[in-house]
Amino acid sequence: MNNMKTKSAILSCLLGLGNLLACQPASALLIFQESFEGSNQYSVENGGQNGSDNFFAVVSNTSLNPGYTPASVDGSNYFGGRDLNGFSSSAPHRVTFDEVDLRGYRDLSLSIALSAAASDIYEAGDSITLDFSSDGGNSFTVLDKFSGATGGARLSNGTDVLGETLFDVNYLLPDTLNSLVFRLQIDTFLAGNEVALFDNFRVEGIAAVPEPESVVLLGLGLIALRFAHARQPA
């Protein structure tokens, strides 16, 4: 009788644990972050500068002049491009972030803060392209593109219009990814007042954990093993 009561009590506790786990909301974890404050988790193609007004480089509060002071900077620094034919360089002007290991995570998301001049100065060839490759592949998929228009316009992806506040754009990623390489490329930007800034690239996800039912089954298995040992003759 005592054994039956013990088994019943343990089973009730395990089922209660399963219900408790099922009710707990999972929180997103920061898997990767680069906000250009010195961690250097990225590489730059065709970077450089000439004076303070022509550059594709990290911008601090005093080093370079983007033409306006962006709001919502994470820390002190951000990356920017302005008048890309104003210094010795060639296309593509691109930043590639270090590979991010996504194994063991689900509900993945990617975010980056973008900014551009709040004026109708960007032509059709002026653009910011966001793309990524997965699982060590060499093929890149376009995630989003912000462009100007013939005759001049603000940079837009058709939904969001960039302005002088660094603005988070957010994207969901497939849970099937094991790793990710993200790139940002600025094209054309030949006029002196054409500028784009970006900051605070992040990848987030929820740690994959056993389902509550799995926890209960594991506990029941351990209980069965314990009682099996208890029944063995001395």
pLDDT for 95-132, tens place per residue? 999 999 999 999 999 999 999 999 999 999 999 999 99
Instruction: Pick the most confident of 187-196, 211-220, 222-231.
Output: 187-196
| Phi, psi dihedrals of residue 114, rounded to the nearest 5° | -125, 150
Which domains are seen in the chain, by residue range?
Answer: 33-99+116-169+180-200 (2.60.120)
Terminal alpha carbon distance of the chain:
22
Q: How crowded is the C-beta side of 98, counted as CA atoms within 13 Å?
A: 11
Helices and strands, number each (H, E), in the chain: 2, 13
Instruction: Name the nearest CA neighbour of 172 among 141, 204, 196.
Output: 204
| Phi, psi dihedrals of residue 60, rounded to the nearest 5° | -105, -175
Tens-digit pLDDT profile for residues 198-216: 999 999 999 987 555 544 4
C-beta neighbour count of 198 within 10 angstroms: 25
pLDDT at 154 > cutoff 90: yes
Tens-digit pLDDT profile for residues 180-190: 999 999 999 99
Q: Map tokens 């008048």 to a residue.
A: 83
pLDDT at 19 > cutoff 60: no
Instruction: Name the nearest CA neighbour of 126 among 195, 64, 53.
Output: 195
Give the pLDDT score at 210: 59
Give the pLDDT score at 24: 55
Give the pLDDT score at 57: 96
Give the pLDDT score at 88: 86
pLDDT at 223 > cutoff 90: no
Give the pLDDT score at 46: 96
pLDDT at 224 > cutoff 80: no
Tens-digit pLDDT profile for residues 38-62: 999 999 999 999 999 999 999 986 7
Evaluate the CA torsion angle 89, 94, 96, 97 in order and state its sign: positive
